[in-house]
Amino acid sequence: MVAKRRPVNKKTVKHRGKGKILFYLCLILLIALVVYLNRGTLHSLLWPKETIAGQSNDDAEPGGPDETVDAPDIKEPKEEDDDEEEADEVPEPDEYLILVNKDISLPADYKPEDLTVPNVRFSFAGPHERQQLRVAAATALEELFAAAEAEGYYLYAVSGFRSYQLQESVYNRHVSTKGREYADKISARPGHSEHQTGLAMDISCQKVGFDLVERFAETEEGKWVAENAHLYGFIIRYPKGAEDITGYNYEPWHLRYVGKEAARYIYENGLVLEEYLEQKSRE
Ligand SMILES: [Zn+2]
pLDDT of 269 higher than 60: yes
Q: What is the percentage of the chain residues whose pLDDT exceeds 70?
A: 67
Q: What is the pLDDT of residues 16-27, one digit of tens each?
A: 566 666 666 656
Q: Assess contact for 160 and 256: CB atoms under 8 A.
A: no
End-to-end CA distance of the chain: 109
**Residue 77 pLDDT level (bands cut at 50, 70, 90):** very low
Q: How far is the CA of 58 from the centre of ligand 1 (A)?
A: 8
Q: How far is the CA of 237 from the centre of ligand 1 (A)?
A: 9
Is residue 42 domain-resident?
no
Is residue 160 domain-resident?
yes
Whether 90 and 64 share a structural domain = yes
Q: How far is the CA of 35 from the centre of ligand 1 (A)?
A: 32
Q: How far is CA 175 from CA 67, 77, 97, 218, in A?
A: 15, 20, 31, 33
**Residue 55 pLDDT level (bands cut at 50, 70, 90):** very low
Instruction: Tell me the one-letter amino acid at 24.
Output: Y
Angle between helices 39-46 and 2-37 (to 10 degrees): 40
Q: How far is the CA of 14 from the centre of ligand 1 (A)?
A: 63
The better pLDDT of the pair 62, 200 is held by 200
Whole-prediction pTM value?
0.69
Whether 30 and 149 share a structural domain = no
Whether 149 and 252 share a structural domain = yes
**Residue 38 pLDDT level (bands cut at 50, 70, 90):** low
Whether 23 and 55 share a structural domain = no
Q: How far is the CA of 59 from the centre of ligand 1 (A)?
A: 6
Show the CA angle centred on residue 59, arms to residues 183 and 232, nearest 5°: 135
Whether 196 and 77 share a structural domain = yes
* CATH number for the domain harbouring residue 67: 3.30.1380.10
pLDDT score recorded for residue 118: 98
Instruction: Tell me the one-letter amino acid at 193.
Output: S
Whether 240 and 109 share a structural domain = yes
Instruction: Tell me the one-letter amino acid at 124.
Output: F
Q: How far is the CA of 264 from the centre of ligand 1 (A)?
A: 20
Q: Tell me what the mean pLDDT of segment 113-135 comes to.
A: 96
The tally of domains found in the chain comes to 2
pLDDT score recorded for residue 186: 72
Whether 61 and 30 share a structural domain = no
Is residue 93 domain-resident?
yes
* Residue 120 lies in domain: 48-282
Instruction: Tell me the one-letter amino acid at 170.
Output: V
Whether 137 and 12 share a structural domain = no
Q: How far is the CA of 119 from the centre of ligand 1 (A)?
A: 19
The better pLDDT of the pair 129, 91 is held by 129
pLDDT score recorded for residue 187: 78
Q: What is the pLDDT of residues 174-232, one digit of tens each?
A: 999 999 988 877 778 999 999 999 999 999 999 999 999 999 999 999 999 999 999 99
Whether 128 and 224 share a structural domain = yes
Whether 132 and 213 share a structural domain = yes
Three-state secondary structure readout of 53-110: HCCCCCCCCCCCCCCCCCCCCCCCCCCCCHHHHHHHCCCCCCCCCCCCCCCCCCCCCC
| Of 261, 257, 226, residue with least CA distance to 240 | 226
pLDDT score recorded for residue 185: 72
Is residue 67 domain-resident?
yes
Whether 183 and 227 share a structural domain = yes
Is residue 248 domain-resident?
yes
Whether 94 and 185 share a structural domain = yes
Average pLDDT of the chain to the nearest whole number? 79
Is residue 43 domain-resident?
no
